Amino acid sequence: MDIVISKTVLLAIVLAPLFGAIVAGLFGRQVGRVGAQSVTILGVAASCALSCYVLWQLIQGAAPFNENVYTWFSVAGFEAHAGFMVDRLTAMMMVVVTFVSLLVHVYTIGYMADDPGYQRFFSYISLFTFSMLALVMANNFLQLFFGWEAVGLVSYLLIGFWFKRPTAVFANLKAFLVNRVGDFGMLLGIAGVAYWFGTLDYATVFANAGPVLGGGQVIEIFEGHAWSVATLICILLFIGAMGKSAQVPLHVWLPDSMEGPTPISALIHAATMVTAGIFMVARMSPLFELSEVALQFILFIGATTAFFTGLIGIVQNDIKRVVAYSTLSQLGYMTVALGVSAYSAAVFHLMTHAFFKALLFLGAGSVIIAMHHEQDMRRMGGLRRYMPITFWTMVIGTLALVATPFFSGFYSKDTIIEAAKYGAEGMGWVGTYGYWAVLLGAFVTSFYSFRLLYLTFFGRERFRDAAPAHEDAHGKHDHETHHEPSSLDAYGHDDHGVHEPRESPWVVTLPLVLLAIPSIAIGFFTAGPMLFGTDWSGREQVLPFFLGAIEVLPQHDTLARIASELWHGPVAFALHGFLTPAFWLTLAGFVLATVMYWWRPELAAKARRAFALPVKVLENKYWADDFWIGGLAGGSLQLGKASDLVDRRAIDGVAVNGTAGFIGLASRVLRRLQSGRLYDYAFTMIVGLIVLLAVLIHHWT
């Protein structure tokens, strides 16, 4: 009997979180805190269970689902639908989104326990889950854009959740406006698809991508300069991905998203908004494979993001911001994989990264709870004996992040580095730049990751000090000032009035443990099927996991080369990892961080003074914020003020009000001539006749 995916099941998956969001948002007072958390958690749990069921059906041989649910509109033969395309790529994303979201929902019970916006927060995160599901399950560009904008809107609401804090309001506006830049490019790309293909349906566009765009069609945007249509559409679509997935230079919003509560930081960075761009490019692989220029552009942007944003994480002192810049760097790795046509490696790293990055963010939140919402790592230290569960789970997340062999992050990240090495051979200087960026990024990632562990969990217990040992202007930040979770009521105090840290409650630590498990093991068991077309052990060939969902031209298939030359099963691949340059650079980062922040902590201050200029550049984040805020945003504001001045003085003042004033003046003069007295009119006629005769006589003579 053939296995068939049910449309009803798919509707339940996407609508269950929406139902929970509506109940918690509109009827939060009626259902109370317990009701709001229960209905949203049950909705996401049902969505997660059904998503796992759909993925199991596809693995067992069910045909991919692609049907329209209803028609939005039909105008002059052009139709737009709401529908689902569910293949293995979609199902994998559905499971990741709902699983991480479910754990974030549970974690929120502890983290937001005393917050007055408790019901509102649950409504927002459930709505966030619905928006992301609508995006990944779409079978057409219009529904994709609906989900695309919905996640942007909800992220705006969540980043600015504590709307009484000016920094939160600034951060959510910044995220919203920067994403509008990317979304404008995305919208133009979708318009190009509609113009050239006459439809927005995925299946139709992908089936006709070669005939429509593969023939070298060009368009002249500027006279005399021809652009490949495929390149134009792909770059415009990728600009949208640059905004959502925070690629340079549209990356500036993501670090400031830390102004939102920690649970939403985990959800944004791990499973929802920032992964949307990576997923979109992978979904559009039939289009991107037609443009070498677009792929090189993607590779360059991803490599720049992977290395240079990672460097900023080295000088951050806020525990959440270190993890945030780590997200930027890892998104750069995924983008590099897209640029070398290793789409499967990109989404595989997306999956593994979702688990260990959610783990690191939620672990950071657990530390913040224990430290009574202190986020500066220089005011921590020695916490491992107070918080053993948080400590060991964060160690696991760190080992996965730095791509330690046998951990999940190794199988995805090391594959990307190898793919970049093979892909560099045919992409000139861009390929070489991309490979060295991700290779050196391994050292950077290792250094700031272990720096975080040492400053937080090792060394002297600096939280007993009145102030950090080395405060400076760049180290100051606004702390989270929301109500503390109820679990803090049980925290004791020492004789000096210092809060004694304790392990977080089970609603916080349970998600950490559940995320630590896939952070260790999921790469080991899924790398073979998802990347190299073998079973998990590497012994038997199977059909590629993303067959039919991702398309790669033979000349671009870097993963096939890795499969034939390096993949002999997960154990052999991990053992080979100990011999690669990436591992030794990772080890070097670990050793340097160990020396500077554990064995000889005084070296950190000396290094800071010795490298004052590079540190200043990194602390100012390459002045990217100044460019956007003072340059583009400030320039736009000045342009708006100048336009307003021209509008008020020239257009309104001269053209509109001036014309009206002249007409009013003329009418007042003419009114005086309309006296109603006959002798005035006779006198005027005589004077006029005399003037007319004088002109005629002068003309004739």
Q: Are residues 591 and 639 in the same domain?
A: no
Residue 498 pLDDT class (50, 70, 90 cuts): low
Task: For residue 376, give the DSSP letter.
Answer: B
- Residues 426 and 299 both lie in one domain: yes
CB atoms within 10 A of CB 382: 16
Q: Torsion-angle region of residue 656: left (phi > 0), alpha (psi -120 to 50) or beta?
A: alpha
Say which DSSP state 81 is in: E
Average pLDDT, integer, range 568-578: 94
| Averaged pLDDT for residues 648-669 | 75
Least confident window among 1-5, 279-283, 286-290, 674-678:
674-678
223 Cβ neighbours under 8 A, 6+ residues apart = none
Is 346 domain-assigned?
yes
| Structural domain includes residue 76 | no
The pLDDT-based confidence of 476 (bands split at 50, 70, 90) is very low
Give the whole-angstrom CA distance, residue 408 versus residue 647: 59
Question: Of 297-306, 395-404, 661-670, which gets the smallest average pLDDT?
Answer: 661-670
How many Cα atoms occupy the beta-carbon half-sphere of 331 within 13 Å? 34
What pLDDT sits at residue 631? 64
Query: Is residue 183 over pLDDT 50?
Result: yes
Say yes or no to pLDDT of 539 above 90: no
The pLDDT score that the predictor gives to residue 141 is 94
- Overall average pLDDT of the 688-698 stretch: 84
Per-residue confidence (pLDDT) for residue 470, from 0 to 100: 45
The pLDDT of residue 698 is above 60? yes
Query: Which pair of structure tokens corresponds to residue 333?
Result: 């790795």
Q: Are residues 521 and 452 in the same domain?
A: yes
For residue 633, name the pLDDT band (cuts at 50, 70, 90): low
The predicted structure's pLDDT at residue 646: 76
Average pLDDT score over residue span 463-469: 61
Q: Are residues 639 and 571 in the same domain?
A: no
Per-residue pLDDT at 660 exceeds 80: no
pLDDT digits (tens, 9 = 90+) for 105-136: 999 998 888 888 999 999 999 999 999 999 99
Q: Is residue 11 part of a domain?
A: no
* pLDDT value of residue 30: 92
> According to the model, what pLDDT value does residue 484 have?
37
- Whether residue 97 lies inside any domain: the answer is no
Shared-domain flag, residues 348 and 424: yes
Band of residue 225 on the pLDDT scale cut at 50, 70, 90: confident
DSSP 296-338: HHHHHHHHHIIIIIHHHHTT--BHHHHHHHHHHHHHHHHHHHH
What pLDDT sits at residue 273? 86
pLDDT on residue 477: 41
Residue 39, pLDDT score: 95
Comparing 18-27, 186-195, 232-241, 479-488, which segment has the lowest mean pLDDT?
Answer: 479-488
Of 309, 362, 297, 367, nearest in space to 335 by CA: 297
Backbone dihedral angles phi then psi of residue 437, each to the nearest 5 degrees: -65, -45
pLDDT tens-digit series, residues 84-111: 999 999 999 999 999 999 999 999 998 8
Average model confidence (pLDDT) for the chain?
Answer: 87
Tell me what pLDDT residue 483 has. Answer: 38
Q: How large is the average pLDDT for residues 527-546?
A: 89
pLDDT at 42: 96
In this structure, the number of other CB atoms found within 10 A of the CB of residue 670 comes to: 9
Residue 73 lies in a domain: no
Angle, vertex CA 527, rays to CA 525 and CA 532, nearest 5: 130
Q: Choose between 196 and 114: higher pLDDT.
A: 196
HEC sequence for 233-279: HHHHHHHHHHHHCCCCCCCCHHHHHHHCCHHHHHHHHHCCHHHHHHH
Q: Which of 352, 470, 483 is nearest to 409 (CA)?
A: 352
Question: Does residue 210 have a pLDDT over 50?
Answer: yes
Look at the block and give the residue holding tokens 């963010």.
361
Q: Same domain, yes or no, for 592 and 656?
A: no
pLDDT the model gives residue 497: 44
The percent of residues in the chain predicted with pLDDT above 90, rounded, is 60
Same domain, 424 and 379: yes
Q: What size, in residues, is the chain? A: 701
Whole-number percent of the chain with pLDDT over 70: 93
Residue 322 pLDDT greater than 50, yes or no:
yes
576 with 633, same domain: the answer is no
End-to-end CA distance of the chain: 112
Rounded Cα gap, residues 567 and 523, in angstroms: 14
Q: Are residues 441 and 320 in the same domain?
A: yes
Residue 470 resides in a domain: no
Q: Does residue 22 lie in a domain region?
A: no
Q: Is residue 45 pLDDT above 90, yes or no?
A: yes
Q: Are residues 441 and 509 in the same domain?
A: yes
Asked if the peptide bond before residue 249 counts as cis, ω within 30 degrees of 0, the response is yes
- Euclidean distance between CA atoms 492 and 498, whole angstroms: 9
Model confidence at 630, in pLDDT bands (50, 70, 90)?
A: low
Q: Has residue 603 got a pLDDT over 60?
A: yes
Domain that holds residue 382: 291-465+502-539+567-599
Q: Are residues 308 and 402 in the same domain?
A: yes
The tally of domains found in the chain comes to 2
In-domain check, residue 172: no
Categorize the per-residue pLDDT at 218 as very low, low, confident or very high, splitting at 50, 70 and 90.
confident
Considering the domain architecture, whether residues 306 and 420 belong to the same structural domain is answered as yes
- The Cα–Cα gap between 540 and 577 comes to 22
Confidence of residue 634 (pLDDT cuts 50, 70, 90): low
Closest CA to 240 of 206, 192, 168, 199: 192
Confidence of residue 217 (pLDDT cuts 50, 70, 90): confident
Confidence of residue 501 (pLDDT cuts 50, 70, 90): confident
Q: How far is 329 from 409, CA to CA, in rounded Å?
A: 14
For residue 493, pLDDT over 50 is answered with no
